[in-house]
Amino acid sequence: MLRQNLANADHLAALHAIWQGETTRLAVDRYRHAIRAALPARWDADPLDLPQSTWLWRTLRSAEAAGLDIRQVARQAISGRPLTGARDLAAVLDARIRRDHPAMIPAAWRPWSAQLPDVADPEQARFLAELAAAMDARKDRIGEHAATAQPP
């Protein structure tokens, strides 16, 4: 049991769950900022704090993974047509982004250490850098093992 637990200490799924827990809020804050910066002055952006905004954040995450600039994506969705009468701002923007970018194919994979978000807290930045390095190292070991091990 001890050997099994030690072997799974740097399991990529466990590390990725930690990564998601630490970076999701940072990504949502980045997306929210991009939308608010592109909104006309009359919008106070309070509708972005609703639970249904989750779909907009997922769409923006897909756009970012596809290598798109989320600030440009947000500007295009907001300035493309008037927002007059929009009752659910997040849903309108989500639909516009999906319409404008129907096939968001993820760009080439980048190491986690190249995906470090900007954080103000130096302790959190250090933790994320160490976590990213651990995930990169685990991925490399998995690749090395797959290259040398014979399938059954």
- pLDDT tens, position by position, 9-19: 788 899 999 99
Residue 53 within any structural domain of the chain: yes
- For residue 101, tell me if it sits in a domain: yes
Backbone torsion region of residue 115, taken as left when φ is above 0, otherwise alpha when ψ lies between -120 and 50, otherwise beta: alpha
Query: 92 and 83 in contact (C-beta within 8 Å)?
Result: yes
Sign of CA dihedral 69, 70, 75, 77: positive
* Length of the chain (residues): 152
Instruction: Select from 4, 7, 18, 30 the least CA-distant residue to 133.
Output: 18
Cα distances (angstroms) measured from residue 18 to each of 21, 122, 132, 134? 5, 18, 10, 11
List pLDDT tens digits, range 82-131: 888 878 888 899 999 999 999 899 999 899 999 999 999 999 999 999 99
Structural domain includes residue 128 = yes
Q: Are 128 and 116 in contact (CB under 8 A)?
A: yes
Residue 1 lies in a domain: no
Residue located via tokens 């194919």: 105
Q: Looking at the predicted structure, is the pLDDT value of residue 45 above 60?
A: no
Please indicate, yes or no, if residue 125 is contained in any of the structural domains.
yes
**DSSP class of residue 118?**
P
pTM exceeding 0.75: yes
Number of domains within the chain: 1
Q: Which domain holds residue 119?
A: 7-148
Check: CB of residue 49 under 8 Å from CB of residue 92.
Answer: no
pLDDT for position 42: 73
